[in-house]
Amino acid sequence: MTELQSDLSSALVDTEVDFCTLDVKGMTCASCVNHVEKTISKIKGVQAVTVNLATEQAKVRFQDDQKKTVASIIQAVDKLGYAAQLANPNGSNQLKREFNFWSSGGLSRVIIGFLITTPLMTPMLLMAFGIHFEIDPMIQLTLALPVQFWLGWRFYVGAYKALLNGSGNMDLLICIGTTAAFGLSLYLLSTDQTKELYFESSSFVISMVLLGKWLEINAKYKTSSAIRELQKLWPESAHVIDEFDLIQEIKLEQLLPGDHIKVFPSERIPVDGIIEEGVSQIDESLITGESNPIFKTVGQSVIGGSINGDGFLIVKAQAIGIESTLSKMIQLVENVQMQKAPIQKLVDQISAVFVPLVVFISIFTFIGNFYYLDSLAESILRSVSVLVIACPCALGLATPAAIMAGTGVAAKFGILIRESAVLELAHRIKLIAFDKTGTLTKGEPSLLDIIEFDRSQIAFTPSSVSLAYGLQNGSEHPLAKAVIQYAKSRKINPVIFTNIKNISGIGIQGETNIDLPGKTIIKLQSLNSLVDQSFYSDLFIKLQPSLIKGKTISILTLDNSTMNSIAIAALIFGDEIKTEAKNVISHLKAMGIETVMISGDNVYSANLVGQEIGIDKIYAQVLPEDKGKWVEKLKIDQNQQRRIVAMVGDGINDAPSLVQADVGIAMGTGTNVAMQAASVTLMRGDLNLVFGAIDISKKTWDKIRQNLFWAFVFNTIGIPLAAFGLLSPMLSGSAMALSSFFVLSNALLLSDWKPKFADSK
């Protein structure tokens, strides 16, 4: 950390805040998490706290009227025996430091531990082949000492801190167990009973636990790979155009809103902004999940972190740093990874009493075995095995590891899960309510059809699209944009006009002399503005089918000094239904999910869209304030049974219903209000991502259940086996270490997940 960063961190620690994130070093199991969380929550003024073993962080929120300094929280955590510090906003958190340590010095300690332990294990291994070999007792002691008190010192420190605070953790169990085995061996050695020493048991358990910790840190680090991949999307610098039109390369953190940035081909765009010059294809796949590059031109927005294609761009910076889309994505994913799923509350309650219960079982095991076997050594070994097998590492990692992996991989495909509770609910959805405009439809007018009229009386060759394009080229009107997009997609060139004028309440007109003598005026105007024309009644009859469907119609007319006004063509505009909508609704029905549309549009328009794509029920002309009430009603089915309901929307008027739903899903193409109200945000307007959200929920929930099952299985089966002498301390240590690794590896299987699509086979 640089001197500047150090000063900044110190300043932040002493600053009064209403929220802080801390890296917490020294937590080893679910009991540690529970103890840190309980202690912080008891501090006056703390409103809420969540501690996560997988990320090794604590997030603390204070009451508005009782702000506290970060230093006061750090002091409280340090008193518990853990080391806390303000989390680095750039993502270099405790987990990364732990990974760096265990990848270098930590791994060397694991290797040294097994190198020392191997000679101690050799006689036992050779015995399996009928070879009897003994190592001098003093050599055994010499080998076991550094393992017990050098490599194992971290367990003594952790256990001591736990005892100081009247709690138990994994370190305490390991410390008691290995010390008991080591102490028993010392006692036997001092009384010349050297035939059965157990130095290899204590040494192997410590070495195996260290190996398990190394495997655990590596696996935990991989579960946070999605966050690191997002962080890598930022370029280190940007090319800024100064007031003298010179290009300067400056660091990203020095950028300011309003800066003009030149983006070269194949470069990453450094900020959220608006294109001022240039055209290019932009690859936004790692941010929105959209696989195809998107054509962007002047006036369109770009997202920081996306990759420019083969064009040169000048972008005006709008959002930088923590205000940018990418930074908000990273923060959102980090926040949900820190959250506890509702099922984790049960795990925390169990963990709170687990270690004391295990110590009690271990003591009872010792007393019972000593009574029935009359063997001090065997009784101690069995109680040691109970302590070692019962370490609750896997239990503490089961849920957060799966949440980290699931939410991380979902973010890679443009599915941002804001609340961990979604993972327990989305796969149980029985009904999905959709908004219409902007959700099932594209939310903007498109040029759907062009009806050409008879031109036989004039020799006039330009196409209707080229005329409309020429009149509206450069206009920001929604209908004009629809015409321009239509023309560009078909590579139609605009006709050149002069004296272009907007006619209030009517439309637009311009002059051209193509193909006709004299001055020719072309107008693009509304149908209603032609009511006084002789051809109006014929037009109305021809266009009635489109009018009934609620389409918007513009008429292209021609006025020439040598002839009367005539209608050239009708341009039919409408809010086009998304291409995937019908397949998505069909697929949801096949999954047994009922579909509903709740729209503020008129009954005819809503029914037209709903019936075309196969929606089960349609509720039209619903006021924004009533949408939430409808969602609440839909939570009760026809049998008066409670069911899980999702709402998919994009507008401000959808916010109440998104909050009211069990699972609110907002389209990222919509308003910020909707996205803030929803528990899931889809970074692009593809309805197929609704499947993705449901599917990753199911997959993550399955992993949570599997992890908790195996964590409990290892303990519930292992403890009785150890108590009855069927598991040695060495096997117990191996099983304990492998259980944590198994849980994390199982969660990592989610990294191969890809969203399903309605049209996939």
Q: 648 — phi, psi (to 5°)?
A: -115, 120
Please state, as a whole number, how many other Cβ atoms lie within 10 Å of the Cβ of residue 395: 28
Active site residues: 435
Highest mean pLDDT among 16-20, 257-261, 455-459: 257-261
CA–CA separation, 354 vs 207, rounded Å?
A: 24
Same fold, 3-90 and 445-576: no
Q: Which has more pLDDT, 159 or 221?
A: 159
pLDDT on residue 228: 63
Q: What is the DSSP letter of 734?
A: H
Put residue 613 in one of left, alpha, beta given phi > 0 → left and psi -120 to 50 → alpha.
alpha
Instruction: Pick the more confident residue, 85 or 316.
Output: 316
Mean pLDDT of 712-730: 80
Whether the CB-CB separation of 207 and 155 falls below 8 Å is answered with no
Range of lowest pLDDT (127-141, 679-693, 742-756) = 127-141
Query: What are the extents of the domains in the chain?
Result: 3-90, 102-225+333-405+700-752, 256-319, 413-441+578-695, 445-576
DSSP, collapsed to helix, strand or coil, labels residue 133 as coil
| Contact indicator for 59, 50 with CB cutoff of 8 Å | yes
Question: Regarding the domain delimited by 256-319, which CATH topology (the fold level of the hierarchy) does it fall under?
Answer: 2.70.150
CATH number 3.30.420.40 is the correct assignment for the domain at 413-441+578-695: no
Phi, psi of 696 (to 5 degrees): -70, -30
502, β-bridge pairs? 508
Say which amino acid occupies 308: N
Going by pLDDT thresholds of 50, 70 and 90, the confidence category of residue 92 is very low
The topology under which CATH files domain 3-90 is: Alpha-Beta Plaits (3.30.70)
Distance CA 314, CA 308 (A): 11
- Proportion of the chain above pLDDT 90, given as a percent: 8
Q: Which amino acid is at 272?
A: D
pLDDT above 90 (res 434): yes
Whether the pLDDT of residue 66 is over 60: the answer is no
To the nearest whole percent, how much of the chain has pLDDT over 70? 78
Residue where the block lists tokens 């010390």: 179
Query: Do you know the residue count of the chain?
Result: 761
How far apart are the C-alpha atoms of 708 and 736, rounded to whole Å?
14
Mean pLDDT of all residues in 9-37: 68
- 558 φ/ψ angles, rounded to the nearest 5 degrees: -125, 130
* Fold entry, domain 445-576: Calcium-transporting ATPase, cytoplasmic domain N (3.40.1110)
The model's confidence at residue 682, banded by pLDDT at 50, 70 and 90, is confident
Confidence band (pLDDT; 50, 70, 90) for 5?
very low
Written as one string, the DSSP assignment of 144-194 is HHHIIIIITHHHHHHHHHHHHTT---HHHHHHHHHHHHHHHHHHHHHTT-T
**Rounded to 5 degrees, what are φ and ψ at 565?**
-65, 135
Residue 569 confidence (pLDDT) above 80: yes
Which strands sit side by side in the sheet containing 563-577, from one edge to the other?
441-452, 563-577, 552-560, 520-526, 507-512, 498-503
Per-residue confidence (pLDDT) for residue 184, from 0 to 100: 75
**Mean pLDDT of all residues in 415-426:** 80
Q: DSSP state, 456?
A: T
Which residues make beta-bridge pairs with 556?
Answer: 524, 569
Mean of all residue pLDDT scores within the chain:
78
User: Does residue 4 have a pLDDT over 50?
Assistant: no
Average pLDDT for residues 100-116, to the nearest whole number? 74
Q: Which residue has the higher pLDDT, 594 or 459?
A: 594
